[in-house]
Amino acid sequence: MEKWADSSETARPRRPQLDEIEAARTRLAAYMHRTPLVQLDLRLPDRRIFLKLETLSPIGAFKLRPALNALLSRDIKTLCSGVATASSGNMAYGMAWAAHRLGVPMAAYMYSGAPRAKIDGVRRLGGDVRFISTETWWRYIVEAERPELDELLINPVTDQAVLSGNGIIGLEIVEDLPEIDVVVTPFGGGSLTTGVASAVKALRPQAMIVAAEDESAAPVTAALAAGNIVEIETKPSFVKSIGGPSLVPQLWPVVSELIDGAVAVSLDQITDAMRLLFSKAKVVAEGAGAASLAVALASDQIKGNVVCVISGGNIDAATYSQVLAGTIPDP
């Protein structure tokens, strides 16, 4: 396998430190505002639910922070040939937005089953969408293979600047709600959970970090039960941004030390949460984004002040209309 385009790509990821996360926030300040933390008034006896609305970022998802930080923290000379990433959707969208603002060519390696809203978003911003199979996409994510290209390829999961960019979310959560008891994050590759948990645990060590998964593909739950990474069978699901056949081995040692558990919820529970977000808060969330709320409502172990990271709202209109109509969309 070829070496990455710069030496930082070959380093094993580590837990980002607070000063790195603060530096990332300063770097991004000119490009985006903090996202709000709002209470979802459900009047539950044992928990208060708060929503960290990453749906209100300029691209409608949390991935703008890691994408921007990944580009802004590089020497501009390394970006001259352009940038690329492998993504199921939101990271590609975030990278396209960041590259467009910086005047840098951008390419996204996506599988054809990615939500149309995300594919179209990349193209609107001038990104070159290159379709690959889901198997090839996964090999790019876990760094088992890489495309032959001149662009700087930024791994959406293991890149250190990606992790620090995601840490900004954790900083904002603790600043807005210092007495936080539990933070629930959707778990895809693990970069969101790692970044958020790094900041939260540094500032509020007693807070629990819980990974939210879809029962159709729940590798964290399986790994915690087995005590190591395992390969699992996955089922097709309309929830595209979380879950996978396994975990990213480079990141798992880091994230496994930060999380306090994982909960896998059903598609019924996820779509219920999507409808609840719309009816109670007028928030449009994709399946992965609503998974954190589904977990917060389903688990008896989650109590007190609970923050659910609503990671994104980029869902195709036809799919969302099926959810609002009370059905589970086809994969």
Q: Which residues are catalytic?
A: 63, 88
Chain length of the chain: 331
The rounded distance, in Å, linking the Cα atoms of 159 and 203 is 23
Where would I find the H helices in the chain? Answer: 18-28, 64-72, 90-102, 116-124, 134-141, 160-176, 191-203, 219-226, 252-256, 267-281, 287-298, 317-324
**β-strand pairing of 37-40 with 47-53:** antiparallel
* Strand ordering across the sheet containing 304-310: 37-40, 47-53, 304-310, 182-186, 208-214, 261-265
Integer Cα distance of 175 and 35 in angstroms: 12
